[in-house]
Structure 1
């Protein structure tokens, strides 16, 4: 079976990684991942701005590569490095604004990353939380969007999960770190999930996990700027006042159904794009390549490896522990 290696070069979005691994298995690959590039039949670059010298040096020449651009950062350096080394390249940005000018020899298709609703959707509960914010506190200085969000948080309107909120959020509204396995449980009882992007991500087509995960669990998402993928359930902030959080369970179920249908269609279309691209590769995929060091991802549902790493990370962070010793367990590379 050909090996697909997913490289998360600068960080690991476990929810996105779970969906990508599921897609690669559906395309007929055995899947591994790490924060480095490894020899493989197909390389998938999930996120990152550039390769290290060691990364690009260990990639066998002619290896086909798929590059996702969903974080809002430029992928130009990665694409150009791969063009000099790889075989064929497929670039999948979330908006046309993320497509670099020099794309000679690179196939481009604008699309959001894959989402498999069956992995994430939950039976809805009553709207226990009118407004939630799931994320670590960002240090954005005088950013007006952050000031607005923190004004609502300090006023006690928002339930908060994440780190570094001491002194910026009422203690009774703080719930600590969250893992990808508890996020759906929160969203299924949420009416509005609040978002906050880094300035460089605004107006670039950045694709946040809450864009798909919250609506799949019946919650709307409040954001600063345009929804490039036209996903259901995403609402722009309107001034300094939060919208009325009316707990209409039927309306939330309708939103969930719309989100399930939308992401099934989008992901099926993305699978077809990648399948067609793979069929057009010169020759066959090299089945002899095996990663030197990587974490294997097996099964059709969220893997135990991801679950264990997420739980361990949450416990360590809640106790202020350094994660570096945990690399020995194989969850962080």
Structure 2
């Protein structure tokens, strides 16, 4: 296989897409130096990578073969044949480049620590059992993706679209979720100690069997969120907004909702109330909170201290 020929074809297709070596390398999760070696003919990508190159660059897989004739070449030859006797040549109409197609790659089991995924579009990808410590997903669109049994601690999800994503049994210690898009996102049995959710709106999110005692929530809006079986003891939720939220079988001892807004929020467990649960409710602080009458009535019936609460 002619490495220099393949290298020159990679370079041409890349330039036709107005893409730098660094941009192509980012999409392939390799170094720009590796792309440079291909284009100089010093090395050659493996067959799997060639398939991925074809998808990214919007070319047919046969483009990399020696006998492939591009659409541009065919148009040029036809133009020469149709030249008239005066020497005037018709201006060829070149085909527009095909749209870039999205890769369907499974990243499960990969060692991707401190990888740069910033701004990528990666719908319905699988990052299961992967090492993703310190990886940067800022501004990425990961809609429908799954993270299961992965080490994602200290990862950056600032501004990331995590709509319909599932994050189960992961180490998310110290992860950052600043202004992250969280819609129907599922967090289950994951470690979120030191993780920060700042200026985020959580819509129909599920946080199930998750230890949130050392998680930081600041200036967040919770809509239709379910904290089922989660541990939220001592958590500060002051000044934040809760609409249609359920604290189902949630441990809330010593939690604070000072200055928070609560509308249609349920603190009642699925099963019968126990003395232990009554005692836990009484330790929650609602000083300065605003709530609707139904939420107020439910909490009052469970013995919560609502002496400094006002109605919405």
Scaled by the length of structure 2, the TM-score of the pair is 0.19
Structure ranking higher in helix proportion: 1
Q: Which has the larger radius of gyration?
A: 2
Normalising by structure 1, we get a TM-score of 0.18
